[in-house]
Amino acid sequence: MNLCASSFKFNLPGCRRCLRLSKPLISASLTVSLFSHQNPSSSTAMAASITTDTSKPKQMEPWLIVGLGNPGKKYSATRHNVGFEMVDTIAEAEGIPMSSVSFKASFGKGFIGDVPVILAKPQTFMNASGESVGAIVSYFKIPLKQVVVIFDDMDLPFAKLRLLPKGGHGGHNGMKSIINHFKGNTGFPRLRIGIGRPPGKMDPAAFVLRPFTKQEREELDFTLQDGLEAMRILLLEGFDKSATFVNSAKKIEQMG
């Protein structure tokens, strides 16, 4: 029998068409087995020469990116809701719909590159954010090292970013709630977005609910794009490269 000469015709599983191959269908290892002067059992030789890996690749665990804020038009586009805005920026850029409500959150599932990601904006109001975040983490069994929380920070200059691998709540009530629902565990990354300090003797509670000026809005939009790139680097290349990007961007802005 001449295995190298004529064409082959065979059916693929799940495919109604048959394929006709005009080229030899023999690998180097298969040729040795078929044309060896030895005479092993043909079925044994074929089984030893042709191996098919039917094992499925391990499914990647999803990342959870949470932006903190308050629901409702009253709080939209205020300083306290920059976490929401950051998630909206990611969702729009990556084509992830946020149309569903699950786990007391505006919720979306998709990918950044080839990495599965869940985006969430808790609708519990800021001080009870942990109710939503804790439920998502528990249901999907997400490792805390793959939970990123994005929130406003008065201790950072306006529109500045800071990415940390872990830490306390820093007096932020939303973070307090999340850490409480994580049973005190603070070992999860967070992206802080600076909103600056209130002017004069203004009550901080009133300050965080103030809208942005036109100039602040323009500056914040650039920061949100930096935050988007930082999240992409974090998921695709790791924390260290993402933190370096955030810090380098900050230094370039200061030099400019």
Q: Hey, how many other C-beta atoms are within 10 angstroms of the C-beta on 99?
A: 8
Please indicate whether residue 172 is annotated as part of the active site: no
CA-wise closest residue to 78 among 198, 192, 217: 217
* Annotated catalytic residue within 37, 80, 169, 172: 80
**Known catalytic residues?**
80
